[in-house]
């Protein structure tokens, strides 16, 4: 495996969107191992997110979370769902302990084609765990899973952070007041949408349910329209209990809505009126003598995108009689330059990479379309596809720019 930390670019593999397990697993590994700059995967997937219901389950080690998740898998499969499970357990090494145990406990459903189970090996590092978990959830969401279950050990603040990614949060408390007090100490009770007393077949479960209900009553009463946190006694072995729990989860989803994690994300800055952007980009293209000399014209533009076109003529050919690679590069680079400068701040290209898929010939109408893959305050990454009139891919180009703070000043011409 190549060790290239913080690779700033990532393009969405189409197979990932189709739910290809190997491609999904690979993307998760890249995130887990820190091979990609944080956020690039989520940014690239932005348009494909929001389908999945994210269910978080937390509680002390041994509370019965994994057993319950396994039982829920069976019921959710029966309801026709595709489910992914992410088990985060910072306290245990991958080689043994809870993570291995969880795999065994979920093993029966783990082999089902509609189930994807992944344990995150955190090796004691908690920093960034919640953000990488969130990015992994995005991968699974884009891959089309209906429900994504995050199981994490309720040991502290990092678990609370991880649970913020979930739409519905279950806190699992085994019978015995000691454990529920433990959960309250960790502040985990505050984030619960559902409290589940696990192992309700064991003695003491009923009194734990009562204790937790009393504890909830001591807190502020839910106001109208607010979700009243239920306390459910659940035995993982009783299908009726598991079905009742999932019905309750579905009720919460109906009220709270899915993809809450996306609501909390900063919305990309409000774009200026599309007409202004297009006029500015067209003016930039018109003001470029090199672009004009090759017969390249800009046909479409918006914030972060640009489309340029050129018909291959005699002046573009190389000694082989096919279109010169430099002309194709220039076409792609023009779309790159226009898209990266479309926001009105001068962008300086710092890296570009092109692959040539096939030759273009005289008379071919070529089009280069640039899209913004990611943009931060200082860096932005673009992908440019060069296609022929019949849709055949001629070339793929990726480029990175450094965004300066300098405003672009151009006479905006009244073209088109
Ligand atoms: N009696 C009973 N035991 C359970 C139940 N659910 C889990 N357990 C047991 O509790 C132990 C811990 O379960 P596990 O799912 O690994 O807990 P986790 O650490 O929270 O994931 C295991 O020995 C399970 O067999 C249940 O509903 N009833
Ligand atoms: Mg477990």
pLDDT for the residue 132: 87
Angle at alpha carbon of residue 124, lines to 123 and 125, rounded to 5°: 95
* Residue 208 scores a pLDDT above 80: yes
pLDDT for the residue 215: 80
Q: What is the mean pLDDT of residues 247-251?
A: 97
Average pLDDT over all residues of the chain:
85
Q: What is the mean pLDDT of residues 57-78?
A: 92
**CA 69 to ligand 1: nearest atom:** 15
Tokens 């495996």, residue located: 1
Total length of the chain: 416
* 212 CB within 6 A, ligand 1: no
User: Residues of CATH 3.40.50.300 domain(s) within the chain?
Assistant: 14-263
pLDDT for the residue 176: 83
- Of 98 and 5, the structure prediction assigns the larger pLDDT to 5
Report yes or no: 135 and 158 within 8 Å, Cβ to Cβ: no
Q: How far apart are CA 340 and CA 231, in angstroms?
A: 53
* Enclosing H/E stretch for 262: helix 260-263
* The CATH number of domain 274-407 is 3.30.43.10: no
Q: Return the residue whose CA atom lies nearest to atom 28 of ligand 1.
A: 199
Report which of 49, 10, 50 is spatially closest to residue 30, judged by C-alpha positions.
10
* Enclosing H/E stretch for 285: helix 274-286
Indicate which ligand has the atom closest to the C-alpha of 89.
Answer: 2
Q: How far is the CA of 85 from the centre of ligand 1 (A)?
A: 17
Q: How confident is the model at residue 216 (pLDDT cuts 50, 70, 90)?
A: confident
Pocket probe for ligand 1: among 60, 67, 196, the residue whose CB has the most ligand atoms within 8 Å is: 67
pLDDT for the residue 242: 97
Tokens 């607010």, residue located: 226
Name the least confident of 261-270, 313-322, 392-401.
Answer: 261-270
Q: What is the pLDDT of residues 340-356, one digit of tens each?
A: 999 888 899 999 999 99
* 173 CB within 6 A, ligand 1: no
Q: How far is the CA of 67 from the centre of ligand 1 (A)?
A: 5
Report which of 72, 251, 89 is spatially closest to residue 148, judged by C-alpha positions.
72
* 66 CB within 6 A, ligand 1: yes
Name the least confident of 136-145, 294-303, 326-335.
Answer: 294-303
Name the β-bridge partners of 347.
403
Report which of 200, 186, 175, 192 is spatially closest to residue 248, judged by C-alpha positions.
192
Q: How far is the CA of 151 from the centre of ligand 2 (A)?
A: 7
pLDDT for the residue 160: 76
Q: How far apart are CA 105 and CA 119, in angstroms?
A: 13
Indicate which ligand has the atom closest to the C-alpha of 179.
Answer: 1
**By percentage, how much of the chain surpasses pLDDT 70?**
82
Q: How far is the CA of 168 from the centre of ligand 2 (A)?
A: 18
Q: C-alpha dihedral over 332, 338, 340, 342, to 10 degrees? A: -150
Which alpha helices (DSSP H) does 168-288 contain, by range? 177-185, 205-218, 239-256, 260-263, 274-286
**CA 101 to ligand 1: nearest atom:** 16
**The CATH number fitting domain 14-263, selected from 3.30.70.20, 3.30.420.40, 3.40.50.300, 3.40.50.880:** 3.40.50.300
Residue 71: count of CB within 10 angstroms of its CB: 25
Report which of 412, 289, 306 is spatially closest to residue 369, judged by C-alpha positions.
306
- Of 75 and 6, the structure prediction assigns the larger pLDDT to 75
Q: How confident is the model at residue 414 (pLDDT cuts 50, 70, 90)?
A: very low
pTM for this model (two decimals) = 0.66
Q: What is the pLDDT of residues 266-315, one digit of tens each?
A: 766 555 666 678 888 888 888 888 999 999 999 999 999 999 999 999 99
Report yes or no: 367 and 332 within 8 Å, Cβ to Cβ: no
Rg of the chain (C-alpha set): 27
**Alpha carbon of residue 412 to chain centroid:** 38
* 204 CB within 6 A, ligand 1: no
Q: How confident is the model at residue 33 (pLDDT cuts 50, 70, 90)?
A: confident
* 360 CB within 6 A, ligand 1: no
Report residues near ion ligand 2: CB below 5 Å. 65-66, 98, 102
Q: What is the pLDDT of residues 84-129, one digit of tens each?
A: 999 986 554 433 344 445 555 555 777 789 999 998 866 555 556 7
pLDDT for the residue 284: 87
* 65 CB within 6 A, ligand 1: yes
Q: What is the mean pLDDT of residues 54-67?
A: 90
**CA 234 to ligand 1: nearest atom:** 27
User: Residues of CATH 3.10.129.10 domain(s) within the chain?
Assistant: 274-407
How far CA 214 is from CA of 52, 200, 240, in Å, comes to 33, 18, 25
Name the least confident of 46-60, 105-119, 158-172, 248-262.
Answer: 105-119
Q: What is the mean pLDDT of residues 10-33?
A: 94
């Amino acid at each position: 495996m190549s060790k290239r930390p913080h690779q700033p670019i990532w393009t969405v593999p189409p197979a990932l969107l189709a739910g290809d397990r190997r491609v999904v697993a690979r993307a998760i590994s890249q995130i887990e191992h820190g091979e990609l700059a944080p956020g690039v995967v989520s940014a690239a997937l932005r348009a494909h997110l929001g389908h999945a219901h994210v269910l978080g389950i937390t509680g002390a080690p041994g509370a019965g979370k994994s057993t319950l998740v396994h039982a829920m898998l069976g019921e959710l499969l029966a309801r026709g769902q595709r489910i992914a499970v992410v088990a985060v357990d910072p306290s245990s090494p991958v080689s043994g302990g809870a993570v291995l145990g969880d795999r065994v406990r979920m093993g029966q459903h783990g082999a089902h084609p509609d189930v994807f189970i992944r344990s995150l090996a955190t090796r004691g590092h908690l920093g960034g765990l919640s953000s990488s978990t969130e990015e992994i959830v995005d991968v699974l969401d884009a891959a089309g899973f209906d429900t994504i279950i995050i199981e994490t050990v309720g040991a502290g603040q990092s678990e609370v952070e991880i649970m913020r990614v979930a739409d519905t949060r279950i806190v699992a408390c085994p019978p015995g007041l000691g454990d529920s007090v433990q959960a309250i100490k960790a502040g985990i009770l505050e984030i619960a949408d559902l409290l589940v007393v696990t192992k309700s077949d064991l003695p003491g479960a009923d009194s734990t349910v009562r204790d937790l209900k009393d504890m909830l009553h001591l807190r502020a009463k839910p106001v109208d329209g607010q979700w009243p946190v239920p306390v459910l006694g659940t035995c993982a072995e009783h299908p009726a209990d598991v079905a009742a729990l999932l019905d309750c989860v579905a009720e919460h989803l109906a009220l709270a809505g899915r993809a809450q994690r996306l609501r909390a994300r900063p919305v990309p800055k409000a774009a200026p009126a599309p007409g202004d952007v297009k006029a500015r980009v067209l003016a930039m293209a018109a003001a470029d003598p090199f672009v004009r000399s090759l017969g390249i014209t800009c046909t479409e533009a918006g914030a972060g995108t640009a489309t340029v076109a050129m018909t291959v003529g005699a002046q573009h050919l190389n000694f082989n009689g096919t279109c010169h690679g430099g002309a194709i590069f220039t076409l792609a680079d023009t779309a790159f330059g226009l898209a990266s400068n479309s926001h009105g701040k001068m962008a300086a290209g710092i890296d570009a990479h092109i692959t040539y898929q096939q030759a273009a010939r005289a008379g071919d109408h070529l089009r280069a379309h640039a899209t913004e893959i990611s943009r931060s305050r200082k860096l932005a990454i673009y992908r440019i596809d060069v296609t022929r009139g019949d849709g055949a891919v001629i070339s793929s180009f990726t480029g990175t720019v450094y965004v300066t703070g300098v405003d672009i000043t151009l006479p905006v011409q009244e073209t088109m």
